[in-house]
Amino acid sequence: MASKTHIMSDETGQRIAAALEAMARGSLLSYDDEAGEYAGVDKWLRSMRDGRIYTVKVPTGSAVACVKADANEGIAVPTPGSNAAAAIDPYAAIAPFFHIDCNATVDADGVPHVTAISGDGMFARTGGNGNVWVLAPVLFWKVADDSEGDYTVISISDTQLPGFSPQPGAELPDGSLRPCMLYAKYALSTYDGEAASVSGAQPRTRDVSHNSLVTICKTATTGYSGRSIADDWYLKVMFLMKYATKNSQSVFQGCTSYNIIKPVTVAASNQSYVVVAKNHGYVAGSAVMIGTGGTSTDRGAAAAHDVLDYGIIKRIEGHDESNDRLILDRAATTAVGNTVFTAPWPTGCCDGVQGDGSPTSRTNAKEPFSLQGIETAMGMYEVMSGVALKYDGSACNLMVLHDTKKEASSISADYVDTGVDLPVSASEGWKYPVRLSNAGGMLVGTGSGASTTTGVCDGTYTHAQTTNAEREFHSLGGLTVGSYAGLWCVNGSGALSNAGWDIGSRLSGTGRSRG
């Protein structure tokens, strides 16, 4: 069988240098031309292991500052980067935090097959070589409250040490370990008619729900699903380990307060721009929709996007002393009085970000961010596959399904009650949980009585306590959600079939897992 070794070019300093050194040791990673994929990915990743324990102690009370312990103690909190400045990230050279972009497929049994790695001359971001993933090692973890009950102690290692279990999504349905973990780099879109993770695409919304993801991702016949428990776990645990705070928006606000709706002030015929009054607040790189619907704020209505369904703002220029041109990536014919709405950002908007961070500002509440190479907080919720909420008249039970091949349009016997309930009260609405709890691999906010700056800091929206219903798990928050949004945000008000303009997801290669 023919094979050859592809050496990657430098991409992110020490992390890639470490990968290159590991590759050179005995050529552990090789490319099988006949199979069209890399061989030895698992051995390559194992060669980087340091076997150490990295711990973060998360307060169970209203305090937000976490404590780094074990091998994590003394590692500085990273300084996030942008398009213009590289992040200062001491974790980039630490084995359990290693990650690199790749192209890969997942077979019907859930097994990943890596077909290209960033820098090898075959890798492509925009769909030409398949979906784009962040490749990372399988991790092992343990989580428990300390003896005093003051902290939830989360520990990870790249080695299965005594007391440690494989991370969520690490085990295939047959109980064997995946050779590596794949996390979709980009939000769910459509490429060549299929569910995709590619750069430069419009995120798929409007028809995305817990139920529709079964069809969109072909969960019954493939190894794919929508956003999985593993996808959720990785972002949350990496954030806690690195940034040591429960307040995710204090570091990365994401696109959570970018609700701009402005009228067209000057008509244009078949032009790649739209004219609005100055001091508008739009951001270059983001996306808009243009409609005839006047001042209606419902972006889901046809009249919100019947002039232009989706356009990316390439740059912003002056038109005259009173107006600006939003230069778009496509042409439209606009009339005075049409309305320009902000929309979820296009995928790949963080491709220029150097490390963790946002394109220009991680705190302006208008821009997505990248964390461990994963682009997120695009201005829409991400609905989960394999996770559902069951209101039973007294509590909101969090239910999980580890093998999404069994997913259905209602909560079946294959869903497991995690024993963890989301906060409810006598009335429907937003609550601020105080602590983090482990619900079958989902780290979620529980308890109540916190705020935007205390406890979990993000909101959880639940129905009244007396409700009997099955609901979707919407994560992260949309561009209108504001301070309720963040890594710990949950909106539990939509039916399992609920879809909308502000609801998307992401392709997952870890939906077929063993709990």
pLDDT of residue 298: 87
Q: Which of 373, 371, 405 is nearest to 386 (CA)?
A: 405
- Give the containing element (helix H, strand E) for 334: strand 323-334
Question: Residue 161: which pLDDT band, with cuts at 50, 70 and 90?
Answer: very high
Condensed to tens digits (0 to 9), the pLDDT of residues 169-210 reads: 999 999 999 999 999 999 999 999 999 999 999 999 999 999
pLDDT of residue 297: 75
**Sign of the Cα pseudo-torsion (295, 296, 300, 306, in order):** negative
* The total number of residues written for the chain in this structure: 515
pLDDT of residue 293: 84
CB 388 within 8 A of CB 211: no
* Position 14 pLDDT exceeds 60: no
Distance CA 384, CA 240 (A): 21
- Name every residue whose Cβ is closer than 8 Å to that of residue 340 and which is 6 or more positions away in sequence: 260, 261, 262, 263, 264, 274, 276, 282, 288, 289, 290, 326
Give residue 476's Cα distance to chain centre.
8
The DSSP code for 377 is: -
pLDDT of residue 27: 67
Condensed to tens digits (0 to 9), the pLDDT of residues 256-284 reads: 999 999 999 999 999 999 999 999 999 99
Distance CA 243, CA 337 (A): 45
CA dihedral 468, 472, 476, 478 (to 10 degrees): -90
* Position 101 pLDDT exceeds 80: yes
- Give the containing element (helix H, strand E) for 421: strand 416-422
Question: Residue 18: which pLDDT band, with cuts at 50, 70 and 90?
Answer: low
Please state, for a pLDDT cut of 70, what percent of the chain lies above it: 94
pLDDT, mean over the chain: 94
* Position 500 pLDDT exceeds 80: yes
Judged by DSSP in three states, 182 sits in: strand
Using CB atoms within 10 Å of the CB of residue 433, give its burial: 0 to 12 exposed, 13 to 18 middle, 19+ buried.
buried
Distance CA 452, CA 432 (A): 8
CB 103 within 8 A of CB 116: yes
Distance CA 258, CA 368 (A): 11
Distance CA 126, CA 185 (A): 12
Condensed to tens digits (0 to 9), the pLDDT of residues 112-134 reads: 999 999 999 999 999 999 999 99
300: tokens are: 């889901």
Condensed to tens digits (0 to 9), the pLDDT of residues 296-348 reads: 778 999 999 999 999 999 999 999 999 999 999 999 999 999 999 999 999 99
Question: Residue 5: which pLDDT band, with cuts at 50, 70 and 90?
Answer: very low
Helix then strand count (H, E) for the chain reads 4, 32
Question: Residue 9: which pLDDT band, with cuts at 50, 70 and 90?
Answer: very low
84: tokens are: 């213009």
* Position 60 pLDDT exceeds 80: yes
- Name every residue whose Cβ is closer than 8 Å to that of residue 503 and which is 6 or more positions away in sequence: 205, 206, 208, 209, 380, 381, 383, 474, 478, 494
135: tokens are: 């490749």
Distance CA 442, CA 462 (A): 17
What is the pTM for the complete model shown? 0.94
